[in-house]
Amino acid sequence: MSEVPDDLHYTKSHEWVRKQDDGSLTVGISAHAQDLLGDLVFVEVPEEGARFGSGDDCAVVESVKAASDVYCPVTGEVVAVNEQLADTPETVNQDPYGDGWIFKVKPDDEAAFGDLLTASAYAEMIAEDSH
Amino acid sequence: MGKHTSLYNVHAAAGARIVDFGGWDMPVDYGSQLDEHHQVRLDVGMFDVSHMTIVDLHGDRCRDFLRQLLANNVDRLQESGKALYTCMLNEDGGVIDDLIVYFMGHDWFRVVVNASTRDKDMAWITEHAKIFGIDVRERDDLAMIAVQGPKARERVHEALGSAPEDLKDMAPFYAHAVDDFFIARTGYTGEDGYEIMLPADQAAAFWNKLVALGVKPCGLGARDTLRLEAGMNLYGSDMDEHVTPLESALGWTVAWDPDDRNFIGRSRLEEQRKLKPSHKLVGVILEDKGVLRDHLKVFVDGLEAGEITSGSFSPTLGKAIGFARVPREADKNCTVEVRGKQLSARIVKPPFVRNGKPCL
């Protein structure tokens, strides 16, 4: 089974979310999600400064096989994007929870982070999916 | 659950990711589609293609039958083991399937058709074979393994133990029987190699022997990017019954001579050839970053002109590539609509890659 770090929160659509000290949230896709997609060959990151609602599609990850939307986990503004992924999309496969981060969003409501899935809830969800 | 080839358990044990391919549970990759792609371009890989349909045709009038059934001319097959790529057309010139036909003996030909088209192909062949008195036998007792890549033939010769000299000297598009194995120098990757038809109950042992010699199992995902780079059409995506070979970059497979060979679909093709087909199938390379996908809209001079029939990412070129059906006049440049944006692309003549080297 794929790695699900305890210190992160998750969404049902397989994003992981890390809370930064400044209150912004770093977002990527889970190890489970990148494994399902296979080798990524293109990542389209959102524009810095763009605003998204919770659940809006805001980025795209594409493997050789398929394209998949990445959804914004909370309502807020994009404050940073991982420009490196334009040239090295495979980083998302190699280090999904580290250098493979996709964007950072400043949530309108800081409490929104607490509404996301805990690591154990997400781990349970993907275990059920695979049955 | 779909149908299983005789190698299914071997794939499952090796940790292959299994998906549905036209009713068959087949490996799409064994971990990394990209690695498997490069493996075939640079060294050697193998594919289980036992889901394809092998049909033996027996009867004294076999050649007459195939002269009528196929758009290419089986009279090009005069030596035992010689192979020919051809389309099988309906009366409207639409492509029922593409296939390879092998000349086995004066009263025996072998055809290999696609897996997804099996039922309609068998019905069509059987119907037209009747008046020629041909016996149509599906060979589901055979498995098929494609070993492809610059080192493919060497590894197969090793696996056979003592490969006969006439196999080692065999030219492309010929096949040779070695005991129970029928070994064809054909493939769907743009690399040298063999497609080997062998008794299904010997397939796992031979597969494992090749693994021990360093031949890496590859999934049908890599097979698709390899064939796309090689400029080879995929039935159901790049052509089907609604288009003719002339609209599918397959005009070279239609044998017009002799004039009096009245193959099925000929009269419609003749008309189309005279008027010139309104559309053609071309290669497309995306200049902007992104990935091409099947059915994306293609624009020429700002106007919607056609669509991508096969789109993917070329691991060898590091760019998105595809085939597109566009108006006859289109050349040089086009744009492709991806998620509402017009991305720049170049119209090219495939192949994109042959024998490990980029061609464009």
Domain span including residue B199 = 8-45+142-229
Does A94 contact chain B (CB < 8 Å)?
no
For B313, name the nearest residue in chain A, comparing CA atoms only.
A64
CATH number of the domain that residue B24 is part of: 3.30.1360.120
Q: What is the pLDDT of residues A77-119, one digit of tens each?
A: 999 999 999 999 999 999 999 999 999 999 999 999 999 999 9
B83, part of any domain: no
**Can you tell me the mean pLDDT for A10-21?**
97
CATH number of the domain that residue B335 is part of: 2.40.30.110
Q: Per the CB < 8 Å rule, is B33 touching A64?
A: yes
B235, part of any domain: no
For B294, name the nearest residue in chain A, comparing CA atoms only.
A66
Instruction: Tell me the Ramachandran region of residue A50: left when phi exceeds 0, alpha when psi lies from -120 to 50, beta otherwise.
Output: beta
Residues on chain B touching A38 (C-beta within 8 angstroms): 17, 29, 32-33, 221
Asked if B176 and B286 sit in the same domain, the reply is no
Asked if B317 and B179 sit in the same domain, the reply is no
Q: Per the CB < 8 Å rule, is A64 touching B32?
A: no
Q: What is the pLDDT of residues A17-29, one digit of tens each?
A: 999 999 999 999 9
Does position B164 have pLDDT exceeding 90, yes or no? Answer: no
B320, part of any domain: yes
Domain extent listing, chain A? 9-129
Does position A1 have pLDDT exceeding 70, yes or no? Answer: no
Tokens of A117: 């899935």
Share of chain A above pLDDT 70, in %: 98
Does position B217 have pLDDT exceeding 90, yes or no? Answer: yes
| Overall domain count for chain B | 2
Asked if B183 and B310 sit in the same domain, the reply is no
Q: Which pLDDT band holds residue B1 (cuts at 50, 70, 90)?
A: confident
Asked if B201 and B345 sit in the same domain, the reply is no
B32, part of any domain: yes
**Of residues B331, B204, B240, B222, the one with CA closest to residue B280:** B331
Does position B331 have pLDDT exceeding 70, yes or no? Answer: yes
Tokens of B246: 């002339």
Q: Per the CB < 8 Å rule, is B32 touching A39?
A: yes
Asked if B176 and B321 sit in the same domain, the reply is no
Q: What is the pLDDT of residues B275-305, one digit of tens each?
A: 999 999 999 999 999 999 999 999 999 999 9
Query: What is chain B's mean pLDDT, rounded?
Result: 97
Of residues A1 and B113, which shows the higher confidence score? B113
ipTM of the complex: 0.88
User: Domain A9-129 adopts which CATH fold?
Assistant: OB fold (Dihydrolipoamide Acetyltransferase, E2P) (2.40.50)
Asked if B147 and B205 sit in the same domain, the reply is yes
Distance from CA of B27 to the nearest CA of A (A): 13
Does A41 contact chain B (CB < 8 Å)?
yes
Distance from CA of A66 to the nearest CA of B (A): 8
Asked if B177 and B297 sit in the same domain, the reply is no
For A93, name the nearest residue in chain B, comparing CA atoms only.
B32
Share of chain B above pLDDT 90, in %: 97
Distance from CA of A42 to the nearest CA of B (A): 6
B254, part of any domain: no
Distance from CA of B34 to the nearest CA of A (A): 7
Instruction: State the DSSP string of B25-79.
Output: EEEEESS-HHHHHHHHHHS-EEEE-TTSEEEEEESTTHHHHHHHHBSS-GGG--S
**Can you tell me the mean pLDDT for B148-163?**
95
Q: According to the model, what pLDDT value does residue B269 have?
A: 98
Asked if B36 and B160 sit in the same domain, the reply is yes
Asked if B152 and B37 sit in the same domain, the reply is yes
Question: Alpha-carbon distance A46 to A59, whole Å?
Answer: 5
Does position B13 have pLDDT exceeding 70, yes or no? Answer: yes
Tokens of A7: 């210190």
Q: Per the CB < 8 Å rule, is A38 touching B221?
A: yes
